[in-house]
């Protein structure tokens, strides 16, 4: 039986994710999604931007998060009574679809919001979940949460 997946996030948070992608352009922007989940719906309560720790030459199509930033994010989420439920990042001049690099480094637990930023302007976001067999991603429906 296929599990129906949804990610509930406010338009205000999506606007902030768009702004981060635009501000980081032509490099990838990145951050964590803090929230809660039940069997079918994850709800984003906080977005937590972090620095793209990838070497400068690769930031246009890759991101990395420094270990200390992962620890800080985990501690911050825990202090708020939340969990890290996902990651958001931008794709400069690339579709809002997972890349081969994303497939290689993804975790089956997280939701991945990918925002396409073309010519410096964010124009679309989609959310993805890595399939349990790591063979690909399944798109997750984004639903609007009241601000």
Q: What is the pLDDT along the chain (147 residues), one digit of tens a residue?
A: 345 589 999 999 999 999 999 999 999 999 999 999 887 789 999 999 999 999 999 999 999 999 999 999 999 999 999 999 999 999 999 999 999 999 999 999 999 999 999 999 999 999 999 999 999 999 999 998 765
**pLDDT number for residue 27:** 97
Closest CA to 42 of 13, 85, 11: 85
pTM value is 0.94
CATH number of 7-145: 3.40.140.10
3-state secondary structure of 13: helix
Residue with tokens 């338009």: 11
**pLDDT for the residue 4:** 55
Query: 6 near 143, Cβ under 8 Å?
Result: yes
The residues pairing with 127 across neighbouring beta strands, listed in sequence order, are 113, 140
Sign of torsion over alpha carbons 95, 99, 101, 107: positive
Residue 73, Ramachandran bin (φ over 0: left; ψ between -120 and 50: alpha; else beta): alpha
pLDDT at 39: 75
């Amino acid at each position: 039986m296929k599990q129906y997946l949804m990610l509930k996030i406010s338009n205000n948070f999506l606007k902030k994710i768009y702004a981060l992608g635009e501000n980081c352009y032509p490099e990838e922007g990145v951050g964590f999604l803090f929230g809660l989940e039940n069997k079918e719906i994850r709800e984003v309560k906080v977005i937590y931007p972090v620095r793209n720790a990838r070497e400068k030459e690769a930031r246009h199509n890759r991101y990395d998060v420094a270990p200390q930033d992962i620890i800080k994010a985990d501690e911050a989420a825990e202090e708020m009574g939340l969990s890290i439920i996902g990651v958001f990042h931008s794709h400069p001049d690339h579709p809002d679809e997972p890349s081969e690099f994303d497939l290689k480094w993804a975790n089956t637990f997280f939701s991945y919001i990918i925002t396409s930023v073309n010519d410096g302007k964010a124009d679309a976001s989609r959310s993805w979940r890595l399939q349990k067999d790591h063979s690909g991603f399944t798109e997750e429906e984004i639903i609007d949460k009241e601000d």
